Amino acid sequence: MYIASLVKSLSHLMGGQYLSSTSSKPQVSPLMAAAHHVSPPSSVKQLCDSGTLSSVHNHYASRDPGAPSDIDPTLEEQIPTIDFSMLTQGTPQERSLMVRQLGQACEEWGFFMVVNHGVPEALRGAVLDAAKDFFDMEEEKKAEYLGRHVLDPIRYGTSFNSTVEDVHYWRDYLKLFVHPEFHCPAKPPNLRDILCQYTTCTRALGIELLKGIWESLDLDESYMNKAFNLEACFQVFVANFYPPCPQPELAMGLPPHSDHGLLTILHQNAIDGLHVKHGNGWVYVKPLPNSFLVNTGDHMQIVTNGRYKSVLHRAMTNGESTRMSVVTVVAPSLDTVVEPVAQLVSSERPAMYRGIKYVEFLEYQQGNKLREKAVLELLRV
């Protein structure tokens, strides 16, 4: 009953497009099945490789070229930095200082940089190189991994969800479910080993950051682990590929959106392009050397009953260089019904969100247009 009304409101919000049914087992909905007969647009890499592009097709025009800049340059310096080594190897005083700073970063920004995280630079470089090798493969080889359904554990594609969008984004992607089961294309041959190491390291990093975040809210760690089944946490790996765009003033890599998980951990090649919303302005993110960029997701907002909100961010394109980012999302297990934790619900602050199975949230979010925090808003009580 509740799911039916959620789907109905989603349909309204998303302009009539929605998935017909959900279950913990991936199923192809009639919409997806129909959409599957429509050939997907070419990858943006293919468009770029096919000749000298001097303009983008209308399909990619998602920006108003005349709009004034909405970047607030004064905010760049203020992005919080978390020294991860203080959380794991610091004195009790250093740890509690870092926990406080982590809580403050989540409350005020929903975004921070993590330094001294212990993930080897060579591995971070290798994952970007291996992902590039994937995108550099011939389209016919990559086509083997074209996504048919948003819950396919290996999904190569372009834009966000081209079957439901009326405007596309200047981005190709490879999305993999990497935990509790590890899925990875067989090609290129070194991808599996590198990704296995990388996603193990970043999962451990995410879980450790989560411990600090729970502590900052006086939440019991073992209770949180159990409630959201973090042992079997759901982890997705996404590689984003944004080739040079002939009209960056018209096209976007990804529109303003929040991520579905608890935490997202990102790093990029040498090319900047991530913007994060802070207050009324946008911040151009120039990561510190060797740092990870971390943001809180929609499920952090649900679990903490709105104390720590998910942050809006967007990816811009540029006219000169290919930008790549690799993203890993740490989330409750797929079959967990996620709702605000009892400790953060009171008569003064009643539950702000209804519970929903993680897999259902994921399917709605991935199956529809990417639009700010649209899916989260539907769960508001």
Ligand X SMILES: O=C(O)CCC(=O)C(=O)O
Binding site for ligand X (CB under 6 A): 238, 240, 254, 259, 266, 274, 313, 315, 325, 327
Least Cβ distance, residue 160 to ligand X (angstroms): 9
Partner whose footprint covers residue 325, from Fe ion, ligand X, none (CB < 5 to 8 Å by kind): ligand X
Partner whose footprint covers residue 366, from ligand X, Fe ion, none (CB < 5 to 8 Å by kind): none
259 binds Fe ion (CB under 5 A): yes
Distance from C-alpha of 270 to C-alpha of 280, rounded to nearest angstrom: 27
Q: Which stretch binds Fe ion (CB under 5 A): 57-65, 115-123, 126-134, 254-262?
A: 254-262
Least Cβ distance, residue 59 to Fe ion (angstroms): 21
Instruction: Name the burial class of residue 286, with classes exposed (0-12), middle (13-18) and buried (19+) by CB atoms within 10 angstroms of its CB.
Output: exposed
**Angle at CA 257, nearest 5°, toward 245 and 281?**
85
Distance from C-alpha of 137 to C-alpha of 145, rounded to nearest angstrom: 12
Partner whose footprint covers residue 334, from Fe ion, ligand X, none (CB < 5 to 8 Å by kind): none
Q: Which is nearer to Fe ion, 169 or 224 (CB)?
A: 169
Instruction: Name the burial class of residue 183, with classes exposed (0-12), middle (13-18) and buried (19+) by CB atoms within 10 angstroms of its CB.
Output: middle
SS3 276: strand
Query: Residue 325 is which amino acid?
Result: S
Partner whose footprint covers residue 240, from Fe ion, ligand X, none (CB < 5 to 8 Å by kind): ligand X
Residue the block writes with tokens 């330094």: 115
Partner whose footprint covers residue 142, from Fe ion, ligand X, none (CB < 5 to 8 Å by kind): none
Q: Which is nearer to Fe ion, 172 or 259 (CB)?
A: 259
Q: Which is nearer to ligand X, 271 or 352 (CB)?
A: 271
Nearest to residue 84, comparing CAs of 268, 198, 235, 208? 208
298 binds Fe ion (CB under 5 A): no
- How do strand 234-242 and strand 172-179 relate by DSSP bridges? antiparallel
Distance from C-alpha of 197 to C-alpha of 247, rounded to nearest angstrom: 37
- Using CB under 5 A as the binding criterion, the count of chain residues that bind Fe ion stands at 1
| Interface contacts to Fe ion, rule CB under 5 A | 259
